[in-house]
Amino acid sequence: MTLPPAPRSMSSRIRSIFSGSVGNLVEWYDWYVYSAFALYFAPAFFPKGNLTAQLLNSAAIFAVGFLMRPLGGWLMGIYADRAGRKAALLASVLLMCGGSLLIALTPTYSQIGVAAPALLVLARLLQGLSVGGEYGTSATYLSEMADARNRGFFSSFQYVTLIAGQLLALLVQLALQQLLTPAELAAWGWRIPFGIGAGAALVALYLRRTMEETDAFRQEAAPGPAARKTNQMRLLLQHPREVLTVVGLTLGGTVVFYTFTTYVQKFLVNTTGFTKDQATLVSFGALGVAMLLQPLMGALSDRVGRRPVLLFFGIGATLLTVPLLTGLARAHSVGAAFGLLLLAMLVISGYTSINAVVKAELFPTEIRALGVGLPYALTVAIFGGSAEYLALLAKDHGVEHWFYWYVTACAAASLLVYWRMPDTQATSRISG
């Protein structure tokens, strides 16, 4: 008979959550630095053309990276459920390091022709595989490591560090904009952030080696490897309601999130008419506030339940997306744009702060990482990865407002899911 593990102290939980979260920050910095610097490196990788056409090319490769995320969610999910959460998190950060290093060292289109965008695609495929596995495993790890009373609060640090990764990418951009001229940034300066990312990934690898494995996985793994040879995909398909809930839960959240965090910087330059520096400053400030909102909303979900917080996001995003994007397009000052984007971040926090724990609470331990990671990655690949491309395509065809209504429709579809789903805090399958 296997005895349950001794109760874990709060300090032990916090140390492990910190180690895992720092690695998560580096992963998402590497992922988002591509979008943050696309305005600078797009001309280096593609033939000469207008800015929108070059951004479309870089956005298409951004979307290609998303196509690898389901594969990452599948492979890393299975690996995490068999070998452990820690082992999968170590593997994902190694892949991200390789992708960032490749982008940093790839020659330009003028030097090697079509091989340049081909190598860029390869790098994004590696990064997509990495981040596809990172999300599900990280969500599972943080949710299992947290105690039941504060699970929403501690799991919210997945998006604290995810947003911190975006902020770090923007901070590096702001610093380079001050230290280098626009010509230097376009010529070679854009390579610096990718080099930083590759080095930081090695630091994250070291920190993740100090993490403890979760009690939930240890208990599940106690019978030995022979007891865990069940086909995990077959087992996952025995939970169709939970899988579809993850898809519906994610659909609106990922489209709204990528619209107001990743795409908005290009939107402020390409549509509103701000300078690159102004757009970076507005995005940085709004994301900073959004990062602080995550633990507050996560703690709120521990008190009132997960479903009310999700409904706050669903209703807000459905009603406010068109007015917010219309207002941002017409904003005449940095202050006005910041205020509108701040409101958007408040609404989005209803999804970002707790989506990880809600998904983790849906599945049993033996398929939790796979159940969280695979349907999430599929949904993000289809809808999140294409959001920026669809927005630029609509603008290129003179119907940019169509995209506003597309985002609204996605949010409304998720709202229906939130309305009908049970509160996972009350039905959680996470022990402890």
pLDDT exceeds cutoff 60 at 226: no
Taking Cα atoms as reference points, which of 164, 19, 422 lies closest to residue 172? 164
Sequence ranges of the domains in the chain: 13-427
Per-residue confidence (pLDDT) for residue 58, from 0 to 100: 66
pLDDT exceeds cutoff 70 at 224: no
Quick one: tokens of 112?
């090697």
pLDDT exceeds cutoff 90 at 323: yes
Give the max Cα distance, the chain. Answer: 69
Taking Cα atoms as reference points, which of 260, 261, 252, 254 lies closest to residue 384? 254
Work out the pLDDT band at 230, boundaries 50, 70, 90: low
Task: Give the mean pLDDT of the chain.
Answer: 85
Measure the CA dihedral 393/321/324/67, to 10°.
Answer: -40
- pLDDT average, residue stretch 265-292: 89
Per-residue confidence (pLDDT) for residue 109, from 0 to 100: 76
Quick one: tokens of 107?
């020659």
Taking Cα atoms as reference points, which of 400, 323, 360 lies closest to residue 136? 360
Per-residue confidence (pLDDT) for residue 414, from 0 to 100: 97
**Alpha-carbon gap, residue 118 to 368, rounded angstroms:** 35
- pLDDT tens digits, one per residue of 103-133: 889 888 778 877 887 888 888 888 888 888 8
- pLDDT tens digits, one per residue of 36-78: 787 787 777 776 665 565 666 666 666 677 678 888 888 888 8
Percent of the chain with pLDDT over 90: 32
Work out the pLDDT band at 2, boundaries 50, 70, 90: very low
Distances in Å between the Cα of 47 and the Cα atoms of 34, 50, 344, 397 are 19, 10, 35, 21
- pLDDT tens digits, one per residue of 183-202: 888 888 989 999 998 888 88
For tokens 């923007």, name the residue.
170
pLDDT higher at 147 or 307: 307
pLDDT exceeds cutoff 70 at 356: yes
- pLDDT tens digits, one per residue of 35-47: 778 778 777 777 6
Percent of the chain with pLDDT over 70: 90
Per-residue confidence (pLDDT) for residue 321, from 0 to 100: 96
**Alpha-carbon gap, residue 108 to 173, rounded angstroms:** 20
Per-residue confidence (pLDDT) for residue 270, from 0 to 100: 87
Helices of type H across 353-421: 355-360, 368-379, 385-396, 400-420
**Alpha-carbon gap, residue 202 to 224, rounded angstroms:** 31
Query: Domain 13-427 classified CATH 1.20.1250.20?
Result: yes
- pLDDT average, residue stretch 2-26: 69
Residue type present at position 221: A
Work out the pLDDT band at 316, boundaries 50, 70, 90: very high
Would you list the DSSP string of 41-65? Answer: HHHHHS-S--HHHHHHHHHHHHHHH
